[in-house]
Amino acid sequence: MQHQDARLSATRPIITLTTDFGNRDGYVAAMKGTLLSIAPEAQIVDVTNEVPAQDVMGAAHVMAGVVPYFPAGTVHLVVVDPGVGTERRGIALSVDGHFFVGPDNGLFSLLANRRHPDSIVELDRAAFWLSDRPSSTFHGRYIFAPVAAHLARGRSLEDVGSRIDDITTMHWALPISDRQGIQGWVVHVDAFGNCITNISREAFEAIRENRAFKCYAGNAILDRMANTYARAQPGDNLMLFNSEDALELAINRGNASEMLDIRKGTSVNIVFLDDRQSDGNV
């Protein structure tokens, strides 16, 4: 299997870990202990354990910005699992040389980004679990972590589960636009309070036509577009396109989420103005 060859050539296989467990309790450590008990040579990279509780789409958003920067053969263990203990399946799959392990709740369809995975299996082989009677509340430790560790050690997907043809699907929320403007939403608030929207640079520029604009979000009206935070005075708000070319609402040296009363899910309405030309502040 071509993807296995890439993994086995690495001196230390990589397992990334993404959860909504937080760091106050011992849940993350229990998963890491399980991983290292099976694959002591593995390098474990925490993406984040601070995904908002049960926020499947939020986890997918974080992972979408991370996966491309890891080498082929990386095993991505993602456990944000509001359906733990129910009939939802546990799955493992490969997409573009990367391996993913976790619950089948739509998250992995977002990461596949409309592509069909190269291979998918249902995790139905207890020989690769921590116990054949796993806890109904902690599949992360009993099922997903052991399977991820076995994959990191070179086991194939077909070893750890039975092949299936599809996964549960979810779809990214897309902005609505016409010539007069764009309506989008905040999809993520980062640790600095920057509010990241689902409006892309491409969508914005396709409609702007060098016109001025006003952006309505939370308690603010923004009309300044910049190419970096420091282009605004400290405490002033601004808009910019981040490293993923997604529109951000920010405050230079301030927390935009708190100061502008913007949260995940807040609507962002941009209106393009025809009565004057842009002042060129980009």
Domain membership of residue 18 (yes or no) is: yes
Residue 11 structural domain: 2-163
Does residue 236 lie in a domain region?
yes
What is the pLDDT, as a whole number, of residue 274?
Answer: 83
Those residues with Cβ within 8 angstroms of residue 204's Cβ, 6 or more apart along the chain or in another chain? 182, 241, 247, 270
Residue 275 has a pLDDT of 63
Per-residue pLDDT, averaged over 254-277, amounts to: 91
Could you tell me the pLDDT band of residue 8, with boundaries at 50, 70 and 90? very low
pLDDT in tens, 235-246: 999 999 999 999
Residues 81 and 207 in one domain: no
Q: What is the CATH number of the domain that holds 14?
A: 3.40.50.10790
Asked if 242 and 256 touch (Cβ cutoff 8 Å), the reply is: no
Whether residues 197 and 158 fall in one domain:
no
If you average pLDDT over residues 263-268, what whole number do you get?
96
Residue 254 DSSP one-character state: B
* Rg (alpha carbons) of the chain, rounded to whole number: 21
Contact in structure between 220 and 260 (CB atoms under 8 Å): yes
Give the 3-state secondary structure percentages of the chain, helix then strand then coil, rounded to 5: 25, 30, 45
The letter for the amino acid at 159 is: D
Residue 170 lies in a domain: no
Q: Of the candidates 163, 192, 217, which is a domain's last residue?
A: 163
Do 226 and 247 share a domain, yes or no?
Answer: yes
**Interatomic CA distance for residues 195 and 186, integer angstroms:** 6
Residue 155 has pLDDT above 50, yes or no: yes
Residues 19 and 50 reside in one and the same domain: yes
The per-residue pLDDT for 114 is: 77
Total domains, the chain: 2
* CATH code assigned at 202: 2.40.30.90
pLDDT for residue 173 = 87
Task: Please say whether the beta carbons of 182 and 199 come within 8 A.
Answer: yes
Rounded CA separation 11/126 (Å): 28
Are residues 36 and 105 located together in one domain of the fold? yes
pLDDT at 146: 98
242: which 2 tokens? 């981040």
With 90 as the cut, is the pLDDT of residue 282 above it?
no
Domain final position from 163, 194, 212: 163
Is 256 a residue whose pLDDT tops 90? yes
Kindly state whether residues 158 and 195 are assigned to the same domain: no
- Per DSSP, the three-state class of 265 is coil
Are 242 and 121 found together in one domain?
no
In a domain, 151, yes or no: yes
Using the 3D structure, point to which of 108, 140, 163 is the last residue of a domain.
163
**DSSP strand pairing (237-241 vs 90-95):** unpaired
d(C-alpha 177, C-alpha 96), whole Å: 32
Indicate whether 143 and 257 sit together in one domain.
no
Q: Does one domain contain both 270 and 189?
A: yes
Segment 172-201 shows an average pLDDT of 95
Residue 196 and residue 218 share a domain: yes
Q: For residues 145 and 201, state if they share a domain.
A: no
155 and 27, same structural domain?
yes
Residue 282 lies in a domain: no
The CA-atom distances, in angstroms, between 100 and each of 73, 210, 276 are: 10, 42, 50
Query: Cα separation of 69 and 152, whole Å?
Result: 18
